[in-house]
């Protein structure tokens, strides 16, 4: 039961926010569509990608898989190809698996309750709340980075927002302030405000609909709130990969195991440079371990720097020759191996760093 005071606080917050949202919300292809499938896909894409970056991927994905049934019946290879460039490929695999669950257990109809939505693979509390509120009008408040920033500033919460206790406090505040009549619009309004007005740096407080009751604005602490403790130093890894070619000019690619990072994607065989190793020494060792063959690095092709969420890499690629008189390479560390023509590389989903290698490879005659 929500107290009268809580209801009053919620109305004081929601009324100006929703009025602002109705007048200022951005046009997005998934907004106001009412389709839980499209809302779900958009929310998964937006978890680590800005709206402007996600939109072309979303439109291509929807053109390729216009319904949950179409996605469920698709080959996973095609799903990963459609997802290529967005990163976080486990999300694409989970989308595919969850669509199959919807087809098999719900008759192809997207579930309409929070618990059933939450039970789908890859859907956490945020996504379940977003889909439940936006698609079905259910009273569940979302909490993402934008919401944390808006509400911590509004309520003057100065505790470390990385701490679970602080996040719990903000979630409880979001639940209290949620507009029960328009929960989906409320959630989108808070996120929209955080993305366009209440930004991490230099927020535009003069245009904020909540400025007159925002604690951070009134106390001059928008630069200090929210407070985040420093991140741990991100580790860096040296990676080497080999582009092995045969007498016909075909090159060898390997598919990553399903249960590993970037599972199901294709790559060039290789691995980490260990302490004390040279890059070419590491490449010879890695390909012996992964393929069971001895190779000779012949030509350095490209160096690629890439950052993942929790670590960074510098990847160096060499064109290699497999020593004569050896058995065929075997997939000792991968799901499968394939010899393909260079012209066929675009038909396989690669991680972004490896894709830069394929682009360099297309430019030379190997």
Residues 142, 286, single domain; the answer is: no
276/166 Cα distance (integer angstroms): 44
Last residue of a domain, one of 159, 193, 219: 219
Within a domain: 112: yes
Average pLDDT over residues 301-323: 91
Same domain membership, residue 113 and residue 42:
yes
Query: Is the domain of 297 the same as that of 164?
Result: no
Please report whether residue 229 resides in a domain. Answer: no
CA angle 147, 148, 154 (to 5 degrees): 85
Q: Which of 167, 193, 219 is the last residue in one of the domains?
A: 219
pLDDT tens string 287-304:
999 999 999 999 999 999
Is 61 marked as binding a ligand?
no
Closest to 42 (Cα-Cα) out of 125, 109, 130, 106: 130
pLDDT at position 150 is 97
Full residue range of the structural domain in which residue 348 is found? 236-362
* pLDDT score for 362: 83
What pLDDT, on a 0 to 100 scale, did the predictor assign at position 309? Answer: 79
Residue 67 falls within a domain, yes or no? yes
DSSP assignment string, 280-343: HHHHHHHHHHHHS--EEEEEEEEEEEEE-SS-EEEEEEEEEEEPTT-PPP--SSSSEEEEE-GG
User: 197 and 313 share a domain?
Assistant: no
Annotated catalytic residue 43: yes
CA-nearest of 244, 242, 245, 270 to 256 is: 270
Q: In the predicted model, what is the mean pLDDT of residues 276-293?
A: 94
Do both 174 and 243 map to the same domain? no
Give the count of beta carbons closer than 10 Å to the beta carbon of residue 234.
11
Count of domains observed in the chain: 2
Q: How far apart are CA 246 and CA 216, in angstroms?
A: 64
- Beta strand 270-272 with 266-267 is unpaired
What pLDDT is recorded for position 259?
Answer: 80
Same domain assignment for residues 205 and 317: no
- Calculate the average pLDDT of the chain: 92
Point out the catalytic residue in the list 43, 84, 192, 286.
43
Q: Check whether 111 is labelled as a binding-site residue.
A: no
Do 203 and 240 belong to one domain? Answer: no
Clarify whether residues 56 and 200 are in a common domain. Answer: yes
Average pLDDT over residues 323-336: 89
> Are 13 and 120 members of one domain?
yes
Give residue-wise pLDDT tens across range 152-194: 999 999 999 999 999 999 999 999 999 999 999 999 999 999 9
Task: Please report whether residue 231 resides in a domain.
Answer: no
What is the domain-level CATH number for residue 297?
A: 3.90.79.10
State yes or no: 269 annotated in a binding site.
Answer: yes
Domain match, 340 and 271 both:
yes
- Residue 261 in domain: yes
Tell me whether residue 230 is in a domain.
no
SS3 363: coil
226 assigned to some structural domain? no
**CATH number for the domain that contains residue 84:** 1.10.340.30
Q: What are phi and psi of 117, to 5 degrees?
A: -65, -45
Q: Are residues 124 and 24 in the same domain?
A: yes
Q: Is 149 within any annotated ligand binding site? A: no
256 marked among binding-site residues:
yes
Quick count: other Cβ atoms within 10 Å of Cβ 30?
22
> What separation in angstroms does the CA of 209 have from each of 51, 66, 172?
22, 37, 22
Picking from 78, 79, 75, 72, the residue whose alpha carbon sits closest to that of residue 101 is 72
- Domain membership of residue 141 (yes or no) is yes
Which pLDDT score is estimated for 181? 94
The helix, strand and coil proportions of the chain, stated in percent and rounded to the nearest 5, come to 50, 15, 40
pLDDT at position 2 is 45
pLDDT digits (tens, 9 = 90+) for 2-57: 444 556 667 789 999 999 999 999 999 999 898 999 999 999 999 878 899 999 99
CB 123 within 8 A of CB 90: no
Examine the domain organization and report whether 315 and 171 are in the same domain: no
Answer yes or no: is 268 a known binding residue.
Answer: yes
Task: Give percent of the chain above pLDDT 70.
Answer: 97
The 10s digit of each residue's pLDDT in 210-265 is 999 999 999 999 999 999 998 888 899 999 999 998 888 899 999 999 888 888 89
């Amino acid at each position: 039961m929500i107290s009268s005071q809580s209801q009053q606080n919620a109305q004081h917050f929601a009324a100006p926010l929703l009025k602002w949202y109705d007048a200022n919300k951005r046009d997005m292809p998934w907004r106001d569509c009412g389709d839980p499938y499209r809302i779900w896909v958009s929310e998964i894409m937006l978890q680590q990608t800005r709206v402007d970056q996600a939109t072309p991927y979303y439109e291509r994905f929807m053109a390729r898989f216009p319904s949950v049934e179409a996605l469920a019946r698709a080959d996973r290879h095609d799903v990963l190809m459609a997802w290529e460039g967005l990163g976080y490929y486990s999300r694409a695999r989970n989308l595919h698996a969850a669509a199959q669950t919807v087809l098999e257990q719900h008759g192809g109809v997207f579930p309409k309750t929070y618990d059933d939505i939450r039970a789908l693979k890859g859907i956490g509390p945020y996504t379940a709340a977003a889909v439940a509120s936006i698609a079905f009008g259910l009273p569940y408040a979302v909490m993402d980075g934008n919401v944390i920033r808006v509400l911590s500033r509004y309520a003057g919460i100065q505790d470390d927002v990385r701490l679970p206790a602080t996040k719990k406090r903000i979630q409880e505040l979001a639940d209290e302030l949620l507009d029960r009549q328009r929960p989906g619009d409320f959630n989108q309004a808070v996120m929209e405000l955080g993305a366009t007005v209440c930004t991490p740096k230099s927020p535009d407080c003069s245009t904020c609909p909540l400025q007159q009751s925002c604690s951070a604005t009134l106390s001059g602490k928008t630069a200090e709130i929210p407070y985040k403790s420093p991140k741990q130093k991100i580790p860096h890894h040296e990676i080497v990969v080999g582009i092995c070619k045969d007498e016909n000019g075909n090159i060898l690619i390997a598919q990553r195991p399903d249960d590993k990072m970037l599972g199901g994607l294709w790559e060039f065989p290789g691995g980490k440079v260990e302490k004390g190793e040279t890059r070419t020494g590491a490449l010879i060792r890695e390909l012996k371990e992964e393929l069971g063959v001895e190779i000779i690095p012949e030509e350095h092709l490209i160096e690629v720097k890439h950052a993942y969420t929790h670590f960074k890499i510098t990847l160096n690629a060499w064109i290699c020759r497999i020593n004569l008189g050896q058995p065929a390479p075997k997939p000792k560390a991968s799901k499968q191996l394939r010899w393909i023509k260079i012209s066929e590389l675009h038909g396989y989903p690669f991680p972004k760093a490896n894709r830069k290698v394929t682009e360099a490879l297309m430019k030379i005659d190997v």
